Structure 1
Amino acid sequence: MDAFVDVFWTKGYGGTSVDDLQSAAGIKRGSFYASFGSKDDVFQTVMDRYWKGVTEPGLSNLEPAVTAVDGVASFLRHVGRFMSENPFRGCLLLSSAGTSTSRVDASEAVSERMAQLESRLTQRLHTDPDLSLDRARNLAAYVLTVLLGLNAMARMGHDGSSIQSAAECAAQSLYALSQQP
């Protein structure tokens, strides 16, 4: 599965063929289908593995902080470091957002994970007694926008320091935005 994660992460869903996957697994096409099912089945499994191995550990940055905004700012900084360490790849989940697949359930796997990410951010921000649920949702949407931008920077090969600077700027902006009515 690690090889499959690497192929999808590097090439994206649309750029990955069954030939790429079977080559990564070192098996023939017939064996691939018998062992793993379709490309969409593998993609869904890859998304689950990536969420558990990369996204969940990143989201752990939300909790130890004293305030909700501190937690989300810490998460933004973490993502900036992660993106700077993955030039031309960025984040598999964010890169897959909006990817069309031949089966609805594979597209839903990405949509569900993105919704889960937004929900986790909203929930954490809403623990701030000064932030209404609507305000927390708006700030979570802002953070998602920033994450997609950081991912685009990484995928385009921006240097790590500029990605981390952008993440820091967004983290600092979050403090100011959280104070607005």
Structure 2
Amino acid sequence: MARTREFDTEATVSRAMTLFWSRGYEATSMRDLTQHLGLGPGSIYAAFGDKDGLYRAALEHYRATLAADALRDLRAGGDARSAIRSMMLERARIATDEGGRGCLAVNAACERLPHDTATRDVVRDMQAASREALADVLRAARERGELAARHDPDALAGFLVTFLNGLLVAAKVTPDVPALEPLVDVALTTLD
């Protein structure tokens, strides 16, 4: 008879996400995970298959929570420039937390790619969602006259996602939002 799971899977994945985010995949051992989560290795293997499975679950949790919140806030913002600026600065604020832990998705790309195709797929999907959300905001801005017709919303969105990835790496090196804020302002001049 199979035993029933005796722990909250979502809370476990959230706690694992925090550990992977602060330490990285390679520096997080199964022993670290069992101690941090308060679970035996058998429980982790039964629920997630292995460390990779738990890591992918943590990335998916990040996508469904923090990354989704950023996109929702972006779409709910006012004028495009202010909404994009607010989103970028909020992402920089999160990335500078805890001494500069960065962005879990960007960290995953830097640490696990190109050899980990499952991680690549998750990160690629997150970046595609960000590009799409930014392009939607920029298209709406162009229709309202906030963005000149000469601008290609898709190309601008691609640039802004690429810039944001670099900004989030920079947040690990310089975990200081006021130092990063002028960089965001320079990137936003592409909307002029």
TM range (shorter): 0.7 to 0.9
TM-score, L = length of structure 1: 0.79
For the residues of structure 2 that align with 1:33 and 1:101, how far apart are their CA atoms?
A: 25
The alpha-carbon deviation at position 93 of structure 1 amounts to 1.5
CA offsets 1:45-87 (integer angstroms, 9 cap, x no match): 1112112221122223322333333322221232233333343
CA offsets 1:110-141 (integer angstroms, 9 cap, x no match): 22112222222122212223566971122112
The alpha-carbon deviation at position 108 of structure 1 amounts to 1.4
Which one of the candidate residues 20, 32, 40 is aligned to 2:32?
A: 20
The alpha-carbon deviation at position 8 of structure 1 amounts to 1.0
Whether the 8 Å CA contact 2:106–2:165 is kept in 1: the answer is: yes
What's the Cα RMSD here?
Answer: 2.6
For the residues of structure 1 that align with 2:44 and 2:56, how far apart are their CA atoms?
A: 15
Whether the 8 Å CA contact 2:108–2:119 is kept in 1: the answer is: no
- Which shifted more, 87-96 or 28-37? 28-37
Structure 1 residues 106 and 64: CA distance shift in structure 2, 3 A: closer
Aligned position for 2:22: 10
The alpha-carbon deviation at position 33 of structure 1 amounts to 0.8
Aligned position for 2:134: 121
For the residues of structure 2 that align with 1:133 and 1:38, how far apart are their CA atoms?
A: 50
Which one of the candidate residues 69, 76, 88 is aligned to 1:76?
A: 88
Asked which structure has the greater CA Rg, the reply is 2
TM-score, L = length of structure 2: 0.76
Unpaired stretches in structure 2, ≥5 consecutive residues: 1-12
For the residues of structure 2 that align with 1:21 and 1:131, how far apart are their CA atoms?
A: 50
Whether the 8 Å CA contact 2:67–2:126 is kept in 1: the answer is: no
Aligned position for 1:142: 159
Whether the 8 Å CA contact 1:40–1:106 is kept in 2: the answer is: no
Whether the 8 Å CA contact 1:47–1:93 is kept in 2: the answer is: yes
Whether the 8 Å CA contact 1:83–1:91 is kept in 2: the answer is: yes
Whether the 8 Å CA contact 2:131–2:157 is kept in 1: the answer is: yes
Aligned position for 2:181: 164
- Percent same amino acid at aligned positions? 23
Structure 1 residues 123 and 112: CA distance shift in structure 2, 3 A: same
Structure 1 residues 120 and 132: CA distance shift in structure 2, 3 A: farther
Letter in structure 2 aligned against 1:153: A
Give the count of matched residue pairs: 175
Greater length-normalized contact order (CA 8 Å, ≥ 6 residues apart): 1
Q: Secondary structure at the match of 1:15?
A: coil
Whether the 8 Å CA contact 1:88–1:154 is kept in 2: the answer is: yes
Aligned position for 1:104: 117
For the residues of structure 2 that align with 1:164 and 1:11, how far apart are their CA atoms?
A: 26
